[in-house]
Amino acid sequence: MASSIPTPEKQRTTRTPATFAVGNYINGRWEPEGDGSFITVLDKYHGTELARLPRASAAQMDQAIAAATASAPALRALSAGERSATLENLAQRIEEKAELFAHTIMQEAGKPIGYARGEVERALVTVRTAAAEALRFTGESVALDFGKGTGKTAFTKRVPVGVVAAITPFNFPLNLVLHKVAPAMATGCPVVLKPASATPLSALLLAGLIAEIGWPAGAFNVLLCDNSVAESLVKDDRVAMLSFTGSDAVGWKLKAISGRKKVALELGGNAAVIIDEGTDLPAAAKAVAMGANLYAGQTCISTQRIFATEPRFDPFSKMLVQEFEALKAGDPADPEVSVGPIIDGRHFQRIQDWCAEAVQGGARVLTGGKVLDEAHHVFAATLLTNTNAQMKVDRDEVFGPLTVIEPVKDIGAAIQRVNDSRYGLQAGVFTNNLAHVKRAHDELEVGGVIINGTPGFRIDSMPYGGVKDSGLGREGVRYAMEEMTEPRLMVY
């Protein structure tokens, strides 16, 4: 892949904007021309131009879908061993370019460099897990040797659904792409990927590596496009499955227009933490502060709401303020920075507005609540109290460094407050009471309950997804592979 991204060694000492000499990746070829308009990718801290890339036309999207459809027989002909070996090859190439990926993520997403390196490490786990799962992923024996089935044997095998339309967000521009691409490669599904326009460079780097490893032409395509062209991908009957990660408003709209295809949605949330009896308050305060503010809170399982049972509310709040104020904000190239820039000016202003609306409605700022650097879109790690469930900072997904903390009477009241939300992705519960652990698991209306940890905990092999407005289906490599395949029964 042609690129003038500086070497990792140079990037450790200077910030030189990356530039890309390529465009969309369609049917195994780079297409430097599109519909005549362009996407400008910015360094999210400095605002400098990283790349100017062509938007794909509707005709190019049609070509990509046709190429993906045509590649299906070649994919079906690959053995599990061949698919696994290809994924291992891809992992090795990503590892060789780990620093290049990390610095690209840092610049295009504004992600603190340590966290960006962590994303690359997670991406390697995702790909290598897919390589391993490709070898052991199979169907099941079906018991029917009774009644009218007496004497019969039955079993299933998993077969790929077909072309997968993958649409990914800005905040994990490598690993969340691979959470769709790696399972698809493991199962033999072609992919047409539409990455976030704000952060497409990591996906293009990945496409360059996939182009080198012998994956069939057309089996992986990357197109940068406007919403109307993306919607044509979702509506197309040649596409068998939509896998979308992003906002709930967009996700449910796409599901509504997707027709009869399979749909997996990993959407947003306003993730909550419960501080209950027996909590190691200093350790919990440190974990929660980081879980709320790392990458300026721009993850769907960033801690947004905290409910502390009454005896713990005052001491925990004071500790949490200290931890918030200890976090360093600023340039994501600084290894000590946790709170970097907001992704763009629109969201930077929105976060200011939501904070101001809460204060006008009676919320009290315990710390933060202010702009630290207007030019670089850096907002202070902010802790609010005296909020209510009608305020946007409580009700909606902030996707920024705004956190609310409120006292509750007991664990039952805390669970009720957590559930008083249209979202249900993950929740954290700090407690040493085993009965409360069981109750939280039984009653919390979320996809995952993290005991003595924040809701931001995720291992890339675990089932991950939400309920209510937080989504449909599950990711996590094997679980995504199940979504991307169908059981085919044989009886004899």
The catalytic site residues sit at 266, 300
CA angle 184, 199, 383 (to 5 degrees): 110
Contacts of 170 (CB under 8 A, 6+ apart): 109, 196, 198, 199, 343
Distance CA 474, CA 250 (A): 18
Q: Which residues pair with 468 in a beta bridge?
A: 423
Distance of alpha carbon 364 from alpha carbon 348, whole angstroms? 20
Helix/strand/coil (H/E/C) assignment for every residue in 315-379: HHHHHHHHHHHHCEECCCCCCCEEECCCCCHHHHHHHHHHHHHHHHCCCEEEECCCEEECCCCEE
Read off the DSSP letter of residue 217.
T
- Cα separation, 97 vs 12, in Å, equals 15
| Distance (Å, whole) CA 411 – CA 307 | 9
- Per 3-state DSSP, the chain is made up of helix, strand and coil in percentages (nearest 5) of 40, 20, 35
3-state secondary structure 150-180: CCCCEEEEEEECCEEEEECCCCCCCHHHHHH
Phi, psi torsion values for 196, nearest 5 degrees = -60, 135
Measuring CA to CA, which residue among 384, 401, 404 is closest to residue 341?
401
Residue 194 Cα distances to 33, 242, 257, 341, angstroms = 17, 11, 17, 24
End-to-end CA distance of the chain: 51
Nearest-angstrom CA–CA distance, 416 and 444 = 8
Task: Tell me how far CA of residue 292 lies from CA of 285, 341, 455, in angstroms.
Answer: 10, 15, 9
